[in-house]
Amino acid sequence: MHRRRFLKSAAATTALAASRIGPVRAAREVLVAEPVHSMGYLPLYIAIAKGYFEDVTVNLVTIETGSGHTNAVLSGQAFAFIGGPEHNAFAKAKGAELRAVVHCVDRGNYYYCAAPAYEPKDRDWPSYFKGKTIAVGPLGGTPNSITRYFLGRWNLDPRKDMTLIETANSATIAVVRGRQAQVGGAIEPFITQGVRNKVWGEPFFNVPRELGPYAYSTFNLRLETIRKEPELVRAFVRGLVRGLKLVYADPAEAAAIAKRQFPTMPIEDLRATLDRSIKDELWSRDGIVSRQAWDTASAVVRGTGILKTDIKYDEIIDMSFVEAG
């Protein structure tokens, strides 16, 4: 994105975000780039709304252009971006230095639902998925990579053993409803919408439970920023951890803040999303990215060929700020 266009759009977006989330009250301002405005990032919105960032004002810009959120940080136009630490690994392989400093989404946020009459009878997944048509997220996205990772574990070839219809996450309901696919990969609120409209039943395969801790979405900064402005990073990390803890400590308040963030989302969809996320421990409870969480994320992106190099935990993840409290 051209620098002038980016800065112009970022200024407009952050002005809207500041008015939507909370008042500007601090001398220091930082910009966080998110790939989509999502319930998955609710702990960040909570921390902003509650003023948890001490003397720092956090503004948001949503960049839905693939690696645009990563590039905004690499170019110095944004302080941090939200995304899996594999983006740091991609950058590392090209000579750039990024670090995940605090966790957010600690589970693979994806589920598989079956159309009526196609529900599995047992857990023989290779036999069940073979020959099926599955509606999944677009190629290159984490949900698509998770799907291909599991197919690989089950010795299934997505080019020969089944058909993948790769489409936007919001379109999987339409694909299954139109009987183009028997299985839909989905996230909330689309899971609940599909169940309510009898497009599919409740998820039969729960990725958060199957994979366990997963470095799905972290907050990532340039190593240069960490070295030059450690106090700023520390304030940001402390605020985000407080937001994570409120989700579990006070779901009612978390829901109220979520409603202000997503005013057009039907309340039943919002509640279903929050309830499922808390039940499946979608969000980190303490901000720590465990080594197990990166091992799983690395296995997914390496298993599907997206990441070619074995990047170690300490090369892309720095938990010193979380650990310092």
From 150, 217, 157, 221, select the one nearest 185 (Cα to Cα): 150
Angle at 258 between CA 252 and CA 261, to 5 degrees: 155
Query: Is the pLDDT at 13 greater than 60, yes or no?
Result: no
**Confidence bin at 5 (pLDDT 50/70/90):** very low
Is 4 or 223 the better-scoring residue by pLDDT? 223
Q: Which fold has domain 111-211?
A: D-Maltodextrin-Binding Protein; domain 2 (3.40.190)
- Tell how strand 163-166 and strand 133-136 pair up: parallel
Dihedral sign computed on CA atoms, order 208, 210, 213, 219: negative
**Confidence bin at 19 (pLDDT 50/70/90):** very low
Query: Is the pLDDT at 17 greater than 80, yes or no?
Result: no
CB 56 within 8 A of CB 236: yes
- For position 170, what pLDDT does the model report? 85
- Report the first-to-last Cα separation within the chain, whole angstroms: 36
Provide mean pLDDT across the span 90-106. Answer: 95
The pLDDT mean for the chain works out to 90
Other C-beta atoms closer than 10 Å to the C-beta of 169 total 20
Angle at 52 between CA 46 and CA 54, to 5 degrees: 155
* pLDDT tens profile 107-126: 999 999 999 999 999 999 99
CB 83 within 8 A of CB 218: yes
Other C-beta atoms closer than 10 Å to the C-beta of 138 total 12
Amino acid letter, residue 129: F
- For position 36, what pLDDT does the model report? 86
From 324, 242, 231, select the one nearest 286 (Cα to Cα): 242
In this prediction, what percent of the chain has a pLDDT beyond 90?
80
- For position 149, what pLDDT does the model report? 95
Distances, alpha carbon 65 to alpha carbons 136, 168, 197, in Å: 19, 14, 31
- For position 140, what pLDDT does the model report? 79
Give CA 47 to chain center in angstroms: 17
* pLDDT tens profile 155-201: 999 999 999 999 988 899 999 999 999 999 999 889 999 999 999 99
* pLDDT tens profile 77-93: 999 999 999 999 999 98
CB 258 within 8 A of CB 42: yes
The pTM of the full predicted model, rounded to 2 decimals, is 0.86
- For position 304, what pLDDT does the model report? 84
Residues of the chain with CATH 3.40.190.10: 3-107+213-324, 111-211
Q: Which fold has domain 3-107+213-324?
A: D-Maltodextrin-Binding Protein; domain 2 (3.40.190)
* pLDDT tens profile 290-316: 999 999 999 999 988 888 889 999 999
Q: Residue 6 and residue 304: Cα distance in Å, rounded?
A: 32
Amino acid letter, residue 77: Q
